[in-house]
Amino acid sequence: MNPILSVEGVTAGYGRVTVLHDISLEAGRFGNVGLFGPNGHGKTTLLRAISGLLQPKSGRIRFDGQDIVGHSARAIVGAGLIHVPQGNRLFPDLSIADCMALGAYSPRARPHEAENREKVIKLFPKLAERWRQRVRTLSGGERQMVSIGTALMSHPRLLILDEPTLGLAPKIKDELCASVMDISRGGVPLIVVEQDIEFLLELTQQLYLVNHGAVATEIKPGESLDHGEIMSMYFGH
């Protein structure tokens, strides 16, 4: 099976600061992909480069075989690569209904709007109760549901989640993890950045440790790891 996404030798950063150094990875060959590693080592920058928010200085990013470097974020969304950014900073003064309509803005997603709305409501029944409420009035967990719901409205062919459980209470977090598993079972391949390794091990088939702007270790299916080994990867030996 060909990878749906491949990152080949990407170097990127902000201004004169280079964050990603010749990073390469693949997604979709074995199922879901997890990215982990210390904060500030380029995971979010990598996702911004993939979704077209940041232009890499060099390297190639292929989505479904096509090089998408230099494409606008809009074109990339239009192709079905959907990125849920970190920290659920959405549209604070829009209602949930508005966010869902925005999710279905691209021409590719629009014909599926009603069907995807059904899916989102089934996945997150809580959102239906607060459908006309402004996002700023929701709890952190609910806002994360809106973020993910908006992305599902975009009819994703590949869904990227950047720390979906960041800052959530344990109970809400468990609920959200279960919902993410549901999305995966629904057939949408995922790339997930997460600090919770247990969750990543359960959800994904392939893991990358991103350190100093490059892939430090790749863990392929079948190569299981214990908690201690991961800790030593984080902190050195």
Partner 1 sequence: MSALAEILFGGLFQGSLYAMMAVGLALVWTTIGVFNFSHGVFMMLGAYIAWQLVELGLPAAVAFPVAVVVMAGVGWILQASVVRPLIGRPNIVLVVVITTLAAGSLIENGALTIWGPRSKQIPALIAGNTTIGGVGVSLHQIAIIVITPLILAALWMFLNRTRLGLALRAVAQNEDASHLVGLNVTALYGLAFAIAASLAGLAGIFMGGYRFMSPVMGSDPLLKALIVVVFGGISSISGPIFAAYLIGFFEAACSYYFGLYWTPALLFGVLILTLMVRPEGIFASRSRGLA
Which residue stretch of 1-9, 29-37, 55-63, 84-92 sits at the interface with partner 1 (rule: CB under 8 A)? 84-92
Q: How far apart are CA 79 and CA 86, in angstroms?
A: 21
| Candidate residues 11, 31, 62, 102; the one interacting with partner 1 per rule CB under 8 A | 102
Which residue stretch of 35-43, 95-103, 187-195, 215-223 sits at the interface with partner 1 (rule: CB under 8 A)? 95-103
Nearer Cβ to partner 1, position 148 or 209?
148
| Candidate residues 11, 21, 53, 172; the one interacting with partner 1 per rule CB under 8 A | 53
The answer to whether 160 and 47 are in contact (CB under 8 A) is yes
Q: Is 87 in the site for partner 1 (CB under 8 A)?
A: no
φ/ψ of 75, rounded to 5, equals -65, -35
Strands (E), the chain: 5-14, 17-27, 33-36, 58-63, 66-67, 81-84, 158-162, 190-193, 206-211, 214-219
- Residue 46's H or E segment, with its range, is helix 43-50
Q: Is 101 in the site for partner 1 (CB under 8 A)?
A: yes
Cα–chain-centroid distance for residue 171?
21
| Shortest Cβ 212–partner 1 spacing (Å) | 25
| Shortest Cβ 154–partner 1 spacing (Å) | 6
Nearer Cβ to partner 1, position 19 or 219?
19
* SS3 state of residue 26: strand
| Shortest Cβ 103–partner 1 spacing (Å) | 6
Q: Is 229 in the site for partner 1 (CB under 8 A)?
A: no
Q: Is 78 in the site for partner 1 (CB under 8 A)?
A: yes
| Shortest Cβ 17–partner 1 spacing (Å) | 14
Nearer Cβ to partner 1, position 6 or 51?
51
Q: Strand 190-193 and strand 33-36: pairing?
A: parallel
Q: Is 116 left (phi over 0), alpha (psi -120 to 50) or beta?
A: alpha
Nearer Cβ to partner 1, position 9 or 87?
87
Q: Is 44 in the site for partner 1 (CB under 8 A)?
A: no
Question: Among positive and negative, which fits the CA dihedral 55, 60, 64, 66?
Answer: positive
The answer to whether 8 and 62 are in contact (CB under 8 A) is yes
Q: Is 13 in the site for partner 1 (CB under 8 A)?
A: no
Per CB under 8 A, residues contacting partner 1 are 51-53, 73-74, 77-78, 82-85, 89-94, 98, 101-103, 105-106, 109, 136, 150, 154
